[in-house]
Amino acid sequence: MTKPFNKLETITRIRNLLTVRILHNQVRDQNIILEKKVQERTIELEESRLEIIHRLGRAAEYKDNETGAHIVRISKMSSLLGRLAGMTNERAELLLNTSPMHDIGKIGVPDSILLKSGKLNAEEWKTMESHTIIGANLLAGHSSELIKSAQEIALTHHEKWDGSGYPMGKKGKDIPFEGRIVGIVDVFDALTSRRPYKDPYPIDKTLSIIREERGRHFDPDLTDLFIKKIDDYVAIKNTFSTRKDIASQDFKLSERDQWVPLNI
């Protein structure tokens, strides 16, 4: 604008500039609102996936009364060992949320085998081993990192470091890292828990077995890390010792190494 100012022109220009500014702010605010809605929707979808994972893991409770507490312990122990082994927070959190699915395939194992009080014969044991394949098949065909990780764990948590495990006989570092982690904490929890075919082993006997299996069943480095922090694993075991312990709190496996009450 040039002097001398024309009153009408000045007012008109100021009004136009203010209008443009207001419209600009509205567009900016609308973009912020839309971005926030997208973020909220993304979080909602992720929580839905986690909820599905959690509930599918708990579905095995209907086959085995111990499983409800077992999956919580496995989740906590796996995440802890993953962090000790150098996992990033994001990867350890993924393990926290996917490890409960390791035994989902037991849904397909007959109760007569799963709950048998005596030793399994060769045919029954072959059926029991199939829970890894069943679990992997249940989780197959989805591109989500969450589901893919759960599938890999379900398939490989019974592989052994020396190649004598099942279902594929993978050996050493050919076994996925998460599968190796869940494998050792799963054995620890199984040995120290009551099962239809056995009483719980004391910690010293369990540790002796784990040491003997270092380099055979278990990754040697993970074994050393596990034994070094055994008190932490015993604490998790004692905190979530029965299904009743978790029923009063009803944990949701969706927060980074935290347990949040979930109303079901």
Rounded distance between C-alpha atoms, residue 262 and residue 51, angstroms: 10
- CA distances (Å), 261 to each of 194, 219, 246, 248, 264, in order? 27, 34, 10, 9, 9
Distance of CA 6 to the CA centre of its chain: 71
Residue whose structure tokens are 């890999």:
152
- For residue 263, is it within any domain? no
Q: CA dist 77 to 16, 20, 96, 221, Å?
A: 64, 58, 8, 16
What pLDDT was estimated at residue 39? 77
Q: How many C-beta atoms lie closer than 10 Å to residue 205's C-beta?
A: 12
CATH number at residue 149: 1.10.3210.10
Residue 263, C-beta contacts closer than 8 angstroms, at least 6 positions apart? 250
**Structural domain that includes position 129:** 7-258
Cβ distance 186 to 206 under 8 Å? no
The residues assigned a catalytic role are 106
- Residue 251 maps to a domain: yes
**258 — alpha (psi -120 to 50), left (phi > 0) or beta?**
beta
Q: Which residue has the tokens 């060992």?
A: 81
Question: Residue 105 to residues 42, 85, 100, 102, 135: CA-CA distances in angstroms?
Answer: 29, 27, 12, 8, 4
Report if residue 101 sits inside a domain: yes
Asked if residue 226 is part of any domain, the answer here is yes
Provide block-wise average pLDDT over 10 residues at a time, the chain (264 residues): 77 86 86 80 66 65 62 92 95 91 90 87 95 93 86 97 97 97 96 86 96 97 97 93 53 39 29
Identify whether 133 is part of a domain.
yes
Task: Confirm whether 33 is domain-assigned.
Answer: yes
DSSP code for 103? T
pLDDT for the residue numbered 45: 62
Which of 79, 60, 80 lies closest to 68, judged by CA? 60
18: in domain: yes
In angstroms, rounded to a whole number, what is the distance separating the alpha carbons of residues 230 and 167?
29
Question: What is the total count of domains within the chain?
Answer: 1
Cβ atoms of 154 and 135 within 8 Å: the answer is yes
Query: DSSP 3-state assignment of 158?
Result: coil
Q: Is residue 220 part of a domain?
A: yes
For the whole model, what pTM was predicted?
0.74
pLDDT computed for residue 264 by the predictor: 24
